Amino acid sequence: MSSPIDLDGRRGLVIGIANEHSIAFGCAQAFVDAGARLALTWLNDKAEPHVRPLGEALGADLMLACDVSVPGQLEAVFEQVARTWGRLDFVLHSIAFAPRDDLHAPLIDSSAEGFALAMDVSCHSFIRAARLALPLMSDGGALMTVSYYGAEHVVDHYNLMGPVKAALEASVRSLAVELAPRRVHVHALSAGPVNTRAASGIAHFDELIDSVRARTPGHQLTDLPAIGRIAAFLASDAGAPLTGSVTFADNGFHITA
Ligand code: NAD
């Protein structure tokens, strides 16, 4: 489908592609369809063979390793972006992690270490990315992260990721206020459930999908191209007035009781 969104000449960094099922890949495809040039990252050597061909298909200008929990790697990505482009128009942060035992335990049993690691990778890395992006966004820009309904409501088996996503959404609001004078807009894109590798780590995810489909108006789940088009809209100038908001790409699930 040709894109109604214009990102022609825009340059964006996409963090979070693991494979073709990743939400970040759906977004990357929509950014390219709208005319953007991309830099993208993979987690480590093991991930590279899965991500590199996708980056090549997207015509990415830059492909780099980035594990945000390894000191210096996120900084190195932004240094390379600065050397290659000298500027940046948008960043998509589409990553989350929690140790398996903590993710599968009730919140009350989450460990301090597991909670801290989940917060660092899934939330504080977005704040660090914002800080590093800012000097490259002298003409303004957009910072986007991917959240979930479990930030606002208790969802079975989402466990410690609920409070972590709540912190992420609160961070979006604070950053939106702090960065408004720099004309940088900040967005949380709250996606409906999609079968991805990260999602497969959530217990009983198939049951969640079934119950969400049943409660969604129209009984249709959202998909990667639809989520991607919302991300492309948020990355564009047209998305700027939504700064600080959580924008749902869930076919209306979140409005149901
Ligand atoms: P995914 O497994 O395709 O992507 C998760 C990404 O996180 C992977 O690319 C992985 O490499 C990356 N990651 C994990 N630890 C990292 C680290 N230390 N450094 C750098 N990258 C790291 O799964 P996804 O579902 O596309 O997840 C993307 C985002 O979407 C996550 O924030 C997730 O919480 C969110 N989300 C997913 C759903 C869903 O149903 N799949 C719904 C709403 C929100």
Mean pLDDT within 231-241: 97
Residue 80 has which token pair?
A: 């390379």
Residue type, position 62, single letter: L
Strand, helix or coil for residue 226: helix
- Judge whether 156 lies within some domain: yes
Q: How many A from CA of 93 to the centre of ligand 1?
A: 9
Q: How many A from CA of 85 to the centre of ligand 1?
A: 26
pLDDT for 2: 63
Q: For the CA atoms of the chain, what is the radius of gyration?
A: 17
pLDDT for 209: 96
Q: How many A from CA of 12 to the centre of ligand 1?
A: 18
User: What is the C-alpha to C-alpha distance for residues 170 and 251, in angstroms, rounded to an integer?
Assistant: 23
C-beta 23 within 6 A of ligand 1: yes
- Judge whether 257 lies within some domain: no
- Domain with 137, as residue range(s), is 11-250
- Closest residue by Cα to atom 11, ligand 1, is 43
Any idea what DSSP says for residue 3?
Answer: -
Residue type, position 89, single letter: D
> Taking CA 93 as the corner, what is the angle to CA 214 and CA 83, rounded to the nearest 5 degrees?
155
Q: Are 112 and 160 in contact (CB under 8 A)?
A: no
Number of domains in the chain: 1
Q: Which of 90, 126, 149, 158 is catalytic?
A: 158
Q: How many A from CA of 147 to the centre of ligand 1?
A: 10
Residue 90 has which token pair?
A: 């948008």
Mean pLDDT within 222-226: 97
Following DSSP, what letter does each residue of 6-45 receive, concatenated? --TT-EEEEE---STTSHHHHHHHHHHHTT-EEEEEESST
- Judge whether 100 lies within some domain: yes
C-beta 67 within 6 A of ligand 1: yes
- Judge whether 86 lies within some domain: yes
The residue with tokens 């989450």 is 110
- Give residue-wise pLDDT tens across range 131-166: 999 999 999 999 999 999 999 999 999 999 999 999
Q: Give bridge partners of residue 144 from the DSSP assignment.
A: 92, 187
C-beta 247 within 6 A of ligand 1: no
pLDDT for 248: 98
- Judge whether 255 lies within some domain: no
C-beta 94 within 6 A of ligand 1: yes
- Judge whether 3 lies within some domain: no
Q: Are 227 and 191 in contact (CB under 8 A)?
A: yes
pLDDT > 60? residue 123: yes
C-beta 18 within 6 A of ligand 1: yes
pLDDT for 257: 86
pLDDT for 136: 98
Closest ligand 1 atom, CA of 17?
9
- Judge whether 127 lies within some domain: yes
Q: Write the CA distances from 10 to 76, 209, 237, integer angstroms.
A: 21, 35, 11
Does the pTM surpass 0.95? The reply is yes
- Judge whether 52 lies within some domain: yes
C-beta 14 within 6 A of ligand 1: no
Residue 158 maps to which CATH number?
3.40.50.720
**Is 149 in the active site?**
no
